[in-house]
Amino acid sequence: MTKFTKLLAASILGSAMLSACQPASETKTPVQDVAKKVTKKAQSTDWKYVGEYGAANWGTMSDKFSTCATGKLQSPFNITADISADLPALGLNYNAVPMKVINNGHTIQADQTGGGQLVVDGTTYNLLQFHFHAGSEYTIDGKSYPLEVHLVHASDAGALAVVGVMFEKGAPNAELEKIWANMPATKGENVVAGQTIDVNKLLPANKQYYRFMGSLTTPPCSEGVNWHMMSTPITASQAQLDAFTAIYPMNARPLQDENNRLVVLGR
């Protein structure tokens, strides 16, 4: 938890306790004042990547998104290794699941309920979904990529972990081909009977990774996310890259400040 969120939590807790403890007649005026201020401020959670509700304004368009502006461990940023270390091998215990491809209005996402676990540092995170960004959100040593996939996981305790993989232009990816063939062009979901998705086929053979702390790259930009970015890209064909950008030409949050956080590269 950052200092800011601690302060925010303390202040929310404080005001809740205050109104709970005070007689109704005494709380009426301050509560009404606060309500007025909240309704005056423009509130929208219908975020986009550009324009009035674009990434530059996420932090102010809704009180729920304030971390997007005030956070100090925001993602993405330009990844450069601060140190190399013997990081633990990632336990990538994934299995194929029935195909369910979702266009959620921000990206193409594959549901991965029952898709297995990431085990790292003794913590087990269940795979929930993976989704794509074009171009890449992170850059590695200043280099951007045409496409990036994020494998999103949560532990039973609610901790989040993401495994990121970059795509560069090259040979087509067979798993991507299956997903692309079934992705809805507009908002909606497509459950495909008799077909499965295997996330193992979206991982590079070389499992070396960068480890660092960061955030969700979409509102509410929650922090405390354990990031694992593969240092080796996989490939997608130009036609595959074009098929995604025909639906989402640009769905990447701009680079955020690294703020001196530690980036460790496995040996």
Active site residues: 106
DSSP state of 113: T
Q: How far apart are CA 123 and CA 212, in angstroms?
A: 16
| Residue whose C-alpha is closest to residue 178's, from 162, 194, 164, 167 | 194
Which pairs from 30-39 meet CB under 8 Å and 24+ separation?
A: 38/63
- Nearest-approach distance from CB 133 to Zn ion, in angstroms: 5
Least distance to Zn ion, CB of residue 45, Å: 18
Q: Which is nearer to Zn ion, 90 or 160 (CB)?
A: 160
Q: Is 253 in the site for Zn ion (CB under 5 A)?
A: no
Minimum distance of Zn ion from residue 131's CB (angstroms): 6
Helices marked H in the chain — which ranges?
3-21, 24-40, 58-61, 67-70, 174-180, 238-245
* Binding letters toward Zn ion, positions 69-108, x by CB under 5 A: ----------------------------------------
Q: In the complex, which residue's CB is closest to Zn ion?
A: 150
CA dihedral 223, 137, 251, 201 (to 10 degrees): -100
74 versus 217: smaller Cβ distance to Zn ion: 217
DSSP lists the bridge partners of residue 266 as 85
Distances (CA, A) of 107 to 240, 251, 254: 15, 7, 16
Instruction: List C-alpha distances in Å: 172 to 83, 143, 201.
Output: 34, 21, 12
The pattern of x and - marking residues 210 through 249 that bind Zn ion according to CB under 5 A reads: -------x--------------------------------
Nearer to Zn ion, 82 or 168 (CB): 168
Query: What's the min distance (Å) between Cβ of 225 and Zn ion?
Result: 10
x-or-dash string of contact with Zn ion, 136-175, rule CB under 5 A? --------------x-------------------------
**Residues touching Zn ion: how many (CB under 5 A)?**
2
Interface with Zn ion (CB under 5 A) = 150, 217
